[in-house]
């Protein structure tokens, strides 16, 4: 048996994994499909790593606070029929505990008649004549009932009582519309008892009869 020598078979070449470099230099390696791409010398835009999604803050426009609904002294009365008598109930805020109950007695009596009534408030007895004149002359009311309380123990009682009475008379005659005095004059204890008994309701009949006196409403010429 003959032995092969390098002279017979030529020089055996050792296997190598080197691949010829492509033109332009550089080299590439391939070890399967999972290998990373070779650098090409270009800059790549590296996207930031995905972050855990966070809930966006909600920007809401500030909500306006609801407006307070206007508070009426009395619930609006149903619309009165055409030609109904309009009566203003004018009261003082002084001694409201007594005065408001008198107004309520009168208002309940007016409800049973074809009358449209509205309530107005002034601070004191001294302001009643001015308000009564304004309502009868410019307010379109056919009559005014003035409510208040005057204590007979008040040092100014005689003068104030006379002044109120004369003022109401003068306004009624000038504007040809009745101005009724529903001012209780007496002690507070007595007033409380009488008012609980319904004092004040009689003024409702009085003002309506005066407005309708002669079969027509008074009017300033």
Question: Where do the structural domains in the chain lie, given as residue ranges?
Answer: 89-215
Tell me: the pLDDT tens digits for 43-76?
A: 443 444 545 444 544 444 445 455 554 444 444 4
Fold of 89-215: Rossmann fold (3.40.50)
Distance CA 171, CA 135 (A): 10
Tell me: the pLDDT tens digits for 93-149?
A: 999 999 999 999 999 999 988 899 999 999 999 999 999 999 999 999 999 999 999
The DSSP 8-state label assigned to residue 189 in this structure reads H
* pTM, rounded to two decimals: 0.62
The residue assigned the tokens 């001015």 is 130
Output the 3-class SS for 20-63.
CCCCCCCCCCCCCCCCCCCCCCCCCCCCCCCCCCCCCCCCCCCC
Q: Tell me whether strands 85-92 and 115-122 are parallel, antiparallel or unpaired.
A: parallel
pLDDT in the model for residue 112: 85
The H or E element that residue 119 is part of is strand 115-122
Distance CA 172, CA 69 (A): 37
């Amino acid at each position: 048996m003959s032995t092969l020598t390098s002279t017979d078979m030529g020089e055996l070449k050792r296997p190598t994994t080197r691949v010829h470099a492509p033109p332009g230099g550089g080299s590439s390696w391939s070890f399967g499909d999972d290998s990373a791409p070779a650098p090409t010398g270009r800059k790549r835009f590296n996207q930031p790593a995905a972050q855990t999604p966070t809930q966006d803050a909600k920007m809401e426009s500030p909500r306006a606070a609801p407006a307070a609904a206007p508070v009426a002294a009395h619930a609006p009365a149903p619309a009165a029929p055409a030609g109904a008598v309009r009566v203003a109930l004018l009261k003082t805020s002084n001694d409201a505990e007594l005065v408001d109950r008198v107004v309520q007695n009168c208002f309940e009596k007016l409800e049973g008649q074809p009358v449209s009534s509205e309530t107005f408030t002034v601070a004191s007895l001294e302001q009643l004549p001015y308000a009564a004149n304004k309502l009868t002359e410019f307010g379109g009311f056919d009559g005014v009932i003035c409510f208040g309380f005057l204590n007979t123990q008040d040092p100014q009682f005689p003068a104030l009582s006379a002044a109120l009475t004369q003022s109401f008379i003068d306004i009624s005659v000038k504007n040809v519309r009745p101005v009724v005095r529903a001012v209780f004059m007496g002690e507070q204890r007595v007033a409380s008892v009488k008012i609980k008994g319904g004092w004040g309701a009689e003024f409702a009949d009085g003002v309506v009869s005066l407005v309708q006196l002669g079969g027509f409403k008074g009017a300033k010429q």
